[in-house]
Chains A and B, each alone.
Chain A
């Protein structure tokens, strides 16, 4: 069963505009949720995580994510996109003691 879904294969946004990359989850209980970014030919870089507490999580490079239990979502956001933010973004959830990843969303920021 799919534990985490990223409904958009690609998101396009103009530089300077706000960006949102969507993620929904389907695990029971209190989920541990993560966002990672992957640049071309590189590994995964940790951006942020939600464990418990404040629903708004702040992470690296100006990114933040909002945990919404009623909508089972954990969308990644940034107020002002940079061209250098263009990359592949993965949402992940911990299930059965391992990270389960979404299919990834390619973010393209146009100058």
Chain B
């Protein structure tokens, strides 16, 4: 079956703009989480959604937000972009999140460059 699909794969934005990234989880998976990967900070958790509700949130400013739709697809939005937001944004899906050690599968990521 299809894996985790993220769009767009690459994008360039200007400081101050906003961006929306999309993620389609594996069919049947209800948990979607987002991670940011940068050379300096490594992989950091942004937030997790389950059944359209944010269930967990990392230590990021309010400019980072997300949502999940009834079909489990998720979007994340970053407003007022800063140069430091340049990163690989990874979406991950699982049946029910971290409960019982569910396997968490990642997409190919969206490369965001802020200029």
Contact = CB atoms under 8 A, between A and B. Distances in A.
A44 interface: yes
A46 B90 CA distance: 13
Contacts, number: 55
Interface string A43-56: 11110010110000
Main DSSP-derived SS at the B contact region: strand
B9 to A, nearest CB: 9
A104 B42 contact: yes
Say which size band chain B's interface belongs to. 20 to 34
Nearest to B56: A97
A36 B33 CA distance: 16
Given A43-B90, A51-B101, A103-B42, A36 B58 contact: no
Interface in A70-111: 90, 92, 94, 96-101, 103-104
Interface of B: 4, 6, 33, 35, 42-43, 45, 48, 55-56, 58, 90, 92, 97-98, 100-101, 103-109, 111
